[in-house]
Amino acid sequence: MATILYHAVELFCFCLAIHILVWRTFPVRHQGIRLGLIFSLGAVAMVGVYALATRFSKGSFESLNWPSWGLACLLHFSLSGVYLNLYTLVTGFSPSIGILERVEESMPHGLKRSELAPPWFTNKNLSGARRENLLATGFIYETGGVLHLSPRGRLIAHCFLIFRRFLGLPDVAKG
């Protein structure tokens, strides 16, 4: 069991290092696709290298236990899926984080409520980046200055609306 956990963390850390190296070297385009490729192909490459190392080494590596590696890969892909979903939250503009940073800058004296709204709470920061992302992924499209849901966007919106209602949360779009 410990071996499975060790290998899963090993795979995830290897792919995370590749991800950081790629993002620091190349501009980010199609981040979801690139992240998925990095975390899937990186894991496959590492398992392949380990398989070759066990085959051609003379006892310096333990033999490859395929069921353990399969479970390690399953755990790795689970961790990767969570990371891919959280990555967009970390990289996007967050008003809550902006408020926390603004209050932290004024410590230890604090910040008056009237001084809370920073100048970067603009339409571009609050909705522009999200709108551009939705346009780029094809969830919405624009015709004559009006935004429309694509069929994929409608499916996603309905799924989230049903889930929010199931949890007893209010409809976000209605305020």
Q: In Å, how far are 23, 54, 63, 157 from 60, measured between CA atoms?
A: 34, 8, 9, 53
List residues bridging with 142 in a β-sheet: 147
Vertex 133, ends 131 and 154: CA angle to 5°? 75
Q: How many CA atoms lie within 13 A of 153 on its CB side?
A: 15
- By CB neighbour count within 10 A (0-12 exposed, 13-18 middle, 19+ buried), where does 19 fall? buried
pLDDT given at position 90: 65
The reported pLDDT for the residue numbered 12 is 92
State the Cα–Cα distance between residues 32 and 38, nearest whole angstrom: 10
User: What does the CA dihedral 97, 27, 9, 94 come to, rounded to 10 degrees?
Assistant: 10
Question: For the residues 3-26, what does the mean pLDDT come to?
Answer: 87
Q: What is the reported pTM?
A: 0.56
According to the model, what pLDDT value does residue 172 have? 65
CA 32 – CA 47 distance, rounded (Å): 23
Buried b (16+ CB within 10 A) or exposed e, 81-104: eebbeeeeeeeebeeeebeeebee
Decide if pLDDT at 11 tops 70: yes
Q: Is the pLDDT of residue 126 over 80?
A: no
Amino acid at 111: L
